[in-house]
Structure 1
Amino acid sequence: MSNRSYEAITPRRVAFLGLGVMGHPMAGHLARAGHHVTVYNRTASKAEAWAEEYGGSAAPTPAAAAAGADIVLACVGNDADLRSVVLGETGAFKGMKRGAIFVDHTTASADVARELHGEALRLGLNFIDAPVSGGQAGAVNGLLTVMCGGDAEPFEAIQPVAMAFSKAVTRVGESGAGQLAKMVNQVCIAGVVQGLAEAIAFGQKAGLDMKQVLDVIGKGAAQSWQMDNRGKTMVDDQFEFGFAVDWMRKDLGLVLDEARHNGAKLPLTALVDQFYADVQAMGGRRWDTSSLIRRLK
């Protein structure tokens, strides 16, 4: 966990559902910022270990975690996981008090965001879709970028709370807009990483010292986050840096599904998605997304 400082705000009663590589440190930042945090995780031992580490409490169900909370945050795997922690007799909506706000940090579909937003309003609750960018390092260091969709008033209430683990928390539109913005983010990453992979592979075939070349071109128009943070590890054939190929394929599947509905043409994204399928077939399901270069060697 980083040693970041936290802006003083009124402590809130919050719940956090899902303590994976992202959720565990995100919930930790909320506790360190002074909020009263109750956590839930499908594997109960992880919730108990979190509570012991941070001094919060663990609950046996999402509904129990959400009981009495002003804000309930979640970061789980996909649409099905999200529905499982939100809906039903043990779901968060069952335990939330009227007027409470559910903030979903899962990268999920815009459709499920709109569905749960509608159900929340029916129950007198609020729902904000709020996927994040920045990966595991961003979560640990409290430097995530959060893209939010939903109603303005609840967004304004959750923004200062979410800043505990973020460098920016921005409302980009109505319900579902946060998920759509995250899709834009993933399209950009897919294209940049493929271009970087081809460039490095080309330079290596040409006999260049690619670490030196990356230092040079990284000071010019080719510079990118991916080049700065993944270029030299790609040269070294190292792919153990967080965001896994399996997760990227899930995200690109959401993008391509949405494009089929809205008519967007995404030829490069579809191609890179298939390149990631090749990486999976090579045994790289848990390699990070920069492993695209493995196809070219």
Structure 2
Amino acid sequence: MARCAFIGLGVMGYPMAGHLMAAGHEVTVYNRTSLKAEAWVDQHGGAMAATPAEAAKGAEFVFCCVGNDADLRSVTTGEDGAFATISPDAVFVDHTTASADVARELAEVAAHTGFHFIDAPVSGGQAGAENGVLTVMCGGEQAAYDRAEPIIAAFAKSCLLMGAAGAGQITKMVNQICIAGLVQALSEGINFAQKAGLDGHAVVDVISKGAAGSWQMENRGGTMLDGKFDYGFAVDWMRKDLGIVLDEARNIGASVPITATVDQFYQDVQNMGGGRWDTSSLIQRLRRLDSE
């Protein structure tokens, strides 16, 4: 069992830290809003810290799941950041969906300071975090990964080292590219079926068992038909992720025309007031267009 810290108790970090505690690890948590950290300790035990630096002190593994590049820099190299007190040879595992640039930047700081950094974004959403079945995509050194992987297993069904620092974030970008295209295609298909007078639920049921089947169809097809978008991964978060994708695509010279188009469709959903709707709400945009 390991001494762990967990920084960031959002919809993903809160249950992930809970799984670490349930697996028998010693866990100290930090959250910008201390009330959430207090609630976590009341529910799971463990300890809470007043700053990231305090949380990281003495930990063998420091996990992090915050909002974006700026948040990540704040809790690592900012005032009272974790990097100020992290132990030599400790492993910092970052589950934030962030840019590959910030992952490489922080990995370099870690190497110069004497500890290890792994970028480890996740896929599986809130349900995956709550059920401990996330997919984790990692970038970093093999030796550090080998140490961290058994600890990550507390909340993951799949974990793989994809390459050097930044490779985990690049892999997560591929994940988001594929999801964006799938959700738009599913939205168009369901909307088309309904406009043609078919029973949408029956259509999804039959085609999900063929070549068109996907996780999105199995898990979101029915809720899209029922107009339910009050759970899951929010449009605002997806736009943040797709912005990272589009920036990296420009950096490496990769063409992502469908992703760029779907990003603009998500902006339309935001303009409809759907920033906190689930990403499957792309279908609402089509319904509005067809009603105009």
TM-score category by the smaller chain? over 0.9
Task: Give distance in 1, aligned partners of 2:178 and 2:276.
Answer: 21
Shift of 1:14: 0.2
Distance 2:232 2:207 in 1: 25
Which of 45, 53, 56 is 1:63 aligned to?
Answer: 53
> Which string of whole-angstrom CA distances, capped at 9 and with x for unpartnered residues, describes residues 25-56 of structure 1?
00000000000000000011111111111110
- Matching of residue 45 in structure 1 with residue 30 in structure 2: no
Moved over 6 A (4+): none
CA distance in 2, matches of 1:202, 1:102: 47
Partner of 1:266: 256
List runs of 5+ in structure 2 lacking aligned partners. 288-292
1:275 aligns with 2:251: no
Q: Residue in 2 aligned with 1:134?
A: 124
Amino acid at match of 1:168: S
1:242-281 CA deviation, whole Å, 9 max, x = no partner?
Answer: 2000000000000000000100001000000000000000
Q: Which residue of 2 aligns with 1:188?
A: 178
In 2, Cα distance between equivalents of 1:88 and 1:275: 35
Taking the TM superposition and a 5 Å limit, the aligned residue runs for 1:142-181 are 142-181=132-171
Deviations 1:223-257 (A, max 9, x none): 00000000011011110122000000000000000
Partner of 1:268: helix, strand, or coil?
helix
State, as a whole percentage, how many aligned pairs show the same letter.
66
Q: Distance in 1 between matches of 2:175 and 2:231?
A: 18
User: 1:224 is aligned with what amino acid?
Assistant: S
How much has 1:203 moved relative to structure 2? 0.3
Matched, 1:214 2:204: yes
Equivalence for 2:187: 197
Say which of 15, 19, 31 aligns to 2:21.
31
Q: Distance in 1 between matches of 2:110 and 2:41?
A: 28
Quote the Cα distance in structure 2 between the aligned partners of 1:203 and 1:193: 15
**Structure 2 residue 222 is matched with structure 1 residue 232:** yes
Count of paired positions? 287
Q: Amino acid of the residue matched to residue 60 of structure 2?
A: D
Q: For 1:38 and 1:241, locate their aligned partners in 2 and report how far apart those are by CA, in whole Å.
A: 28
SS of equivalent residue, structure 1 residue 164: coil
Q: Could you tell me how far apart the structure 1 residues matched to 2:80 and 2:13 are?
A: 20
The offset of 1:73, in angstroms, is: 0.2
Please state how far the C-alpha of 1:88 moved relative to its aligned partner: 3.2
1:257 alignment partner in structure 2:
247
Aligned match for 1:86, one of 67, 72, 76: 76
- Report what 2:213 is aligned to: 223
Matched to 2:77, the amino acid is: L
User: Could you tell me which amino acid in structure 1 is paired with residue 115 of structure 2?
Assistant: L
The amino acid across from 1:75 in the alignment is: C
Q: Deviations over 1:106-142 (max 9, x none)?
A: 0000000000000011110100000000000000000
d(CA) in 1 for partners of 2:176, 2:154: 24
Structure 1: runs of 5 or more not aligned: 1-10
Partner of 1:285: 275
Tell me which residue corresponds to 2:235. Answer: 245
RMSD: 0.5
| Equivalent-residue separation in structure 1 for 2:37 and 2:209 (angstroms) | 44
Residue 24 of structure 1 and its aligned partner are, at CA, apart by 0.3
Q: Quick one: distance in 2 between partners of 1:177 and 1:88?
A: 24
